[in-house]
Structure 1
Amino acid sequence: MNLARFPRRRYTEGETPLERLDRLSAFLDGPEIWIKRDDFLGFFPGGNKTRKLEFLMADALEKGADAVITCGAPQSNHCRLTLAAARKEGMECHFIIEERVPGTYSERASGNMFLFQLMGVDSIRVVSGGADMTAEMEKTAAELRVSGRKPYIIPGGGSNAVGALGYVACAEEILSQSFRKGVSFDRIFTTSGSSGTHAGLAVGLWANRSGIPLTGINISRPNSLQVPLVEKVARETARLLGIEEPLPDSLIQCFDGYVGEGYSLPTPAMTKTVVLLARMESILLDPVYTGKAFAGMIDLIRQGFCRKGEKILFLHTGGVSALFHYQKYFDPELFPEDGRR
């Protein structure tokens, strides 16, 4: 695949690290666990959307846009990173915020909401949960066109074929790094949310004939909805890349038993896992995405899904800034299995 033929901005200098989690691996007495630190991507404090935005912002600039519009939940990491990229490029940035959980939007909230204000988002319009976000973004785009702007709409999570190219590139990066380190992964785990990261990785690993299975841990939807969503973006990404061979039916694998009550709503397993990894490996997970996904991976390991001695890789998709908004859910006294010894 020749990704160089697609316009791309570079927001990260070099590759993100592959880190072996020795203490956690010994603690679980199962597979050898590694982590891909995409929380180290550009635009502090990092996150997976940066890779997508390298292609999306380049596409917007090539089309002459001077403003971007996107959408997300009140603590959206994607919105934060889109705003950061827009500021870097000297473009306006406008948000449609979906209040999926009633009463959760507040201009005075900490976490990403504070960063929205700090970076000076140009406008925020709040809509109720279940709203047609595409239609809402189109409304804002129409208003901007009337004022003489040239807006570019970025879908939630940056999850379309253009954005997914960022994780096709990431798949190639992982394969190159693992070759240089002399480690052959038996499985890769990723959060499966808006679908662009999962779809891009799946296409990249498959098209490079890696033979490495990819497992998604859902954070918002049941498999009946999530698998078709990821498959759709994967097909569109393959088409954009000019891949004519049909994608295998078994390419997309998801586990949906770790969502809890819904998107962004904490689970006991998530909070316990965030504390465990912080105390054992000095790595922070976020409460909405990686906390739930890592908790799901640990549960699958304990069920025997991965054999002892296998080498597995977890993709850390970032989002740590949202953690500070969820402080009230973390009581260290509730987690005696904390890895301090």
Structure 2
Amino acid sequence: MPQPLDFQYPERVRLAQTPTPLQKMERLSDRFGVDIYFKRDDYTGTELSGNKIRKLEFLLHRALQMGVDTVITCGGAQSNHCRATAFAAKRLGLKTVLLLRTPDPEKPPATEANILLDYLADATIIWITPEQYQQRYQYFAWQAEQLVAAGACPYIIPEGGSNALGAWGYVATVEELVNDVNLLGGSGAESTTVISAVGSGGTTAGLVLGNKLLSADFRIVGVNVCNDQDYFQKVIGDIVDDFQKNYLSQPVVSSADIEILDGYVGRGYALSQPQELEAIRDLARLEGVVLDPVYTGKAYYAMISELEKNPECFGSRIVFLHTGGLFGLFSITEQMAELL
């Protein structure tokens, strides 16, 4: 078996409850005749729950090193990343400014689910339109200038914490997964496919990089929940290239290592189809596991849809990365209630 390559993690601040458990979905596995496990990254915390906090451990350590007092980040109205950032920053004594996307900033969404939690963490929320969000880096710069003029010292964290530094969070996750899979035993001939949702690209970039750095020999499959395959090939590729330029002596990942399962965006980002919500309901009733409508619900629906077409399409063992997002369900209670 190939040996892991030499590399060194940057420093981080420990915030997440890790390692997270790997749990077999017994009844789901029986249904498809394949061993299906969930990597429970929804267990990384309560208010910090999900994959974002793994990236924030590295990003917020950098912020502390720089002596900042305020972090600025962005996302959709019900952003899990923004909620996790607000609480993680509060733990570290930092203030948070959130640029949140909504169709009409004059009529923002109700104070519920992640938005409620953002306010509980005393985050400053600035509502911007989708068109303005496309120019978010300009809005970041403008907001940072305003804060500096007021005597603050800000630090900008990109959408989803998805950059080269944040990707280290999921290099570390691959290290956990290698240990998890080794504990499963078996003949050694089992192939393992790791499936996760792709929203901003940083988690998948980290998984792909970690897979190479640790010689894990997993198949990494990302399910895009917005945009399309070509878009994420570029976004993830850019994060990977930046990571390799800044942290490695030579490249280990090529574009061929980035696999995106396209075709399951449905109605669009944070918009659910009935069959996606039915899949969330059915899994809760089958295994007692709750997914979210924006990320894990879409990725899970994609996984089972592919398995229904061909149970062997992902090999003999699947690890589904549960990236959290439970709070997002509370913003679509009426849609869910119709299915119950």
Q: TM-score, length-normalised on structure 2?
A: 0.92
Which AA in structure 1 matches 2:29?
Answer: S
| Counterpart for residue 108 of structure 2 | 106
| Counterpart for residue 117 of structure 1 | 119
- Aligned positions of 1:250-261 closer than 5 A: 250-261=256-267
1:23 to 27, 40, 45: 27
State the alpha-carbon separation in 1 of the partners of residues 138 and 313 from structure 2: 46
**1:246 shift after superposition:** 4.7
| Counterpart for residue 301 of structure 2 | 295
- Specify the SS of the correspondent of 1:14: coil
State the alpha-carbon separation in 2 of the partners of residues 2 and 75 from structure 1: 39
Which AA in structure 1 matches 2:181?
Answer: S
**1:5 shift after superposition:** 4.6
State the alpha-carbon separation in 1 of the partners of residues 339 and 268 from structure 2: 25
State the alpha-carbon separation in 2 of the partners of residues 120 and 204 from structure 1: 35
**1:211 shift after superposition:** 1.4
2:77 to 60, 64, 74: 74
- Residues 271 and 243 of structure 1: CA distance in aligned 2, closer, same or farther (over 3 Å): farther
- 1:287-332 alpha-carbon deviations (Å, 9 max, x no partner): 0000000000101111216359711100000011111111111246
Asked if the contact 1:74/1:104 (under 8 Å) is kept, the reply is no
| Counterpart for residue 337 of structure 1 | none
Asked if the contact 1:219/1:292 (under 8 Å) is kept, the reply is yes
Structure 1, unpaired ranges of 5+: 335-341
| Counterpart for residue 338 of structure 1 | none
**1:3 shift after superposition:** 6.3
- Specify the SS of the correspondent of 1:187: strand
**1:137 shift after superposition:** 1.2
- Residues 305 and 252 of structure 1: CA distance in aligned 2, closer, same or farther (over 3 Å): farther
Q: TM-score, length-normalised on structure 1?
A: 0.92
State the alpha-carbon separation in 2 of the partners of residues 193 and 284 from structure 1: 19
1:318 and 2:306 aligned:
no
**1:93 shift after superposition:** 0.4
1:128 and 2:129 aligned:
yes
**1:107 shift after superposition:** 5.6
Q: What RMSD, in angstroms, separates the aligned Cα atoms of the two structures?
A: 2.0
- 1:92-143 alpha-carbon deviations (Å, 9 max, x no partner): 10011112x558963633110111111111x211111032111111111101
- Specify the SS of the correspondent of 1:221: coil
Deviates more, 1:301-310 or 1:164-173: 301-310
Asked if the contact 1:43/1:50 (under 8 Å) is kept, the reply is no
| Counterpart for residue 99 of structure 2 | 96
Structure 2, unpaired ranges of 5+: none
1:160 and 2:160 aligned:
no
Asked if the contact 1:10/1:54 (under 8 Å) is kept, the reply is yes
**1:58 shift after superposition:** 0.2
Give percent identity, aligned residues only: 35
State the alpha-carbon separation in 2 of the partners of residues 309 and 187 from structure 1: 7
Asked if the contact 1:68/1:86 (under 8 Å) is kept, the reply is yes
